[in-house]
Amino acid sequence: MKNLESLIKTYNDFPKKGIAFKDILGIIQDIEVFRELILKMSSSKIIKSSDAIISIEARGFIFGSAISLQASKPMLVARKPGKLPGELIKGNYFLEYGKSSLSIQKESLEKFSSYAIVDDLLATGGTIECVADLIRKSGKDVCGLVTVVELMELEGRSRFNFPVESMLCI
């Protein structure tokens, strides 16, 4: 996609030594590229075949809510500890630079049958695997992952048995 890579800035040794952090926030400061990106993500077969999308805190929300409106799909959120009220289902995962957990509101997850996961970046795949496990544990289907960036050398997608659509592979 035009200009997408040029809007992503790399910060070495952030947030920890040895991590090349890809800052994708420049994308939402170029409204033409952002619009083109959202149209492309929204037209993905993975999104179209889903009943609803689940976006992941925090940068996943930026893309997820825009896709939700454009594709007319309801959106749920997977959030970090201590952020969501009500009854939750929770899973732990390992990141490229740490360990955390994600929760989804149980009542929301019960409303739909199949979900497309939306996030900003696929690195090791631990985060997405955690969300996919939560969806499946609830007896629901995972249609696939739609992400802005995929870090190919980490081979995150090899952990999944569902389709992945990345707007930029680097």
Residues that bind ligand AMP (CB under 6 A): 19-22, 56, 59, 95-96, 119-127, 156
Shortest distance (Å) from residue 84 CB to ligand AMP: 17
Residue 76: beta bridge partners?
Answer: 54
Residue among 91 and 156 whose Cβ is closer to ligand AMP:
156
Shortest distance (Å) from residue 150 CB to ligand AMP: 9
How far is CA 62 from each of CA 10, 77, 138, rounded to the nearest angstrom? Answer: 19, 11, 25
Instruction: Compute how many other C-beta atoms are within 10 angstroms of the C-beta atom of residue 116.
Output: 30
Residue among 94 and 113 whose Cβ is closer to ligand AMP:
94
Residue among 33 and 164 whose Cβ is closer to ligand AMP:
164
Shortest distance (Å) from residue 116 CB to ligand AMP: 15
Residue 21: beta bridge partners?
Answer: 11
Residue among 23 and 107 whose Cβ is closer to ligand AMP:
23
Which structure tokens are listed for 85?
Answer: 């009220």
DSSP-derived secondary structure for 35-103:
HHHHHHHHT-HHHHT-SEEEEETTHHHHHHHHHHHHHT--EEEEB-TT---SSEEEEEEEETTEEEEEE
Cα 78 to Cα 102: distance, rounded to the nearest angstrom: 6
Shortest distance (Å) from residue 29 CB to ligand AMP: 17
Residue among 59 and 90 whose Cβ is closer to ligand AMP:
59
Shortest distance (Å) from residue 110 CB to ligand AMP: 25
